[in-house]
A and B are shown apart, each in its own frame.
Chain A
Amino acid sequence: MTSATPLLSVTDAGHRYGDRFGCRGVSFDLWPGEVLAVVGESGSGKSTLLGMLSQRLTIDEGSARYAGSDGEARDLSALSERDVRRLWRTEWGFVHQNAADGLRMHVSAGGNVGEPLMANGWRHYGRIRERAADWLERVEIPADRMDDTPATFSGGMRQRVQIARNLVFGPRLVFMDEPTSGLDVSVQARLLDLIRSLVADLGLAVVVVTHDLAVARLISHRTVVMKDGRVIEQGLTDRVLDDPQAAYTQLLVSSILKG
């Protein structure tokens, strides 16, 4: 997958809470097929950054430009609410840490996955159901659970349904906020492997926020390390983790529990 322009181009971006910046001075380019991990501890500004990129928070300084499917790069701050809604319907996905924030817990799994298709104008019930079934199979939800609600599912299954719901309509950019935290280790490994292969197969661009360096190593190409709202270090994931330059990154890497 090659392309001449980045999908997302962030330059010196910052968001202010009152007189304090939640994050500031963030710059990076993201290309189709690339996974960018944003790592840091709580309060590092990584969630603020994600909120800003996903247009849930304003970009108060600097800029973020997104190259839409029409080939035109636009400043995110200049988009109307309607533009942003259209992006969420057709080009962007968001996988929440807590599946209940991203799913309708009392609608069937099939309904959860079919809904984004309906929002995109699909009307034929049989085809919607068929596509939803395909996607549930891809995320390894047994066919006989399709009509059950996520409320009856395990944490790992809920996350997989959430991923299917966010990928079914063919997005180009997916944001993920701690997609595997709170899950058992074996369930995490399975989910990460699934994300890794889907991202590669679909050529998606992904921004994933995580406090877990092992998650960054397993699924990301590049890593941004944040602390106190600032970028401490960024680069190729294996370079950042194997040869960290900043004192803080060295501290983070040395704090990993080796299994």
Chain B
Amino acid sequence: MTRDTAVLSVEGVDKTFTLHLQGSQVLPVLRGVTFAVPRGTCVVLGGESGAGKSTIMKMVFGSYLADSGRILLDAAGRVVDLATAAPREVLAARRDAMGYVSQFLSAVPRVAAIDVVAEPLVERGSARDAARERAGELLERLSIPERLWQLPPATFSGGEQQRVNIARGFAAERPLMLLDEPTASLDARNRAVVVDMIRERLRAGTGMLAICHDAEVRDAIADTVVDVGAFAPARERVAA
């Protein structure tokens, strides 16, 4: 797969954590991470727990610093290197080009569920009413009862919060989606709905990078599995 068709190209990315509070202990976790996410495909990061799957996801999203290499996001013909982009460019990329569905809803106190979901659309310039309507459709599809829509999700159950989070991640159509255990606390029925939603987006050309331990969901969505263990620093590979 050439870079022309890839939404995301990760090339030679290293990550080392330096723990200054633990005697400046240096922990190399990833070396030479290289893979691509072509348009319309889902790449799942595989490997043992602790291999660095979430670290890769966070470097792509920009909440972790990449020590070296390139993380190229190609959105509407404009390529940004997220490994070196200025904060303002990363923020613009998050708004316009990449959605992130994490396992947990980040706390937004006092904001109604429907507005939590509509926010990414409003940020991109949609009228609030239209954004709410779209948000309502998504919440309905994910079986969040309408009586909850006007309440802040902080008080919802774990599964409900995760579904609000998924609805938010799917509200805006962006060329790249990052999915971090999108179905972890869902029942079988909602899991199937989310798998359908993911497949629809893939057909529409969205590229997806996912972490997914549920084998059934993984088989249903993955086009490629990248073994993150292959990027372990040499010393640790020997030790393991």
Contact = CB atoms under 8 A, between A and B. Distances in A.
B20 A250 contact: yes
Contact of A238 (B24, B63, B111, B123): B63
Contacts of A178: none
A96 B58 CA distance: 36
Contact of B21 (A221, A235, A239, A254): A254
A236 B108 CA distance: 18
Contact of A239 (B63, B109, B111, B123): B63
Interface residues on B, range: 10 to 19
Contacts of B24: 247
A245 B65 contact: yes
A250 B63 contact: no
Contacts of B189: none
A243 B64 contact: yes
A212 B206 CA distance: 38
Interface residues of A, number: 23
B62 interface: yes
A242 interface: yes
Interface string A4-22: 0000000000000000000
A31 B88 contact: yes
Contacts of B21: 247, 250-251, 254
Nearest to B19: A250
A221 B24 CA distance: 28
Interface of B: 18-21, 24, 58, 62-65, 87-88, 90-91, 108-111, 123
Closest A-B pairs by Cβ, 5 of them: A247-B20, A238-B63, A243-B64, A236-B87, A189-B109
13 contacts: A190-B109, A190-B110, A193-B109, A222-B87, A235-B87, A239-B64, A239-B87, A242-B58, A242-B63, A243-B63, A243-B64, A246-B20, A251-B21
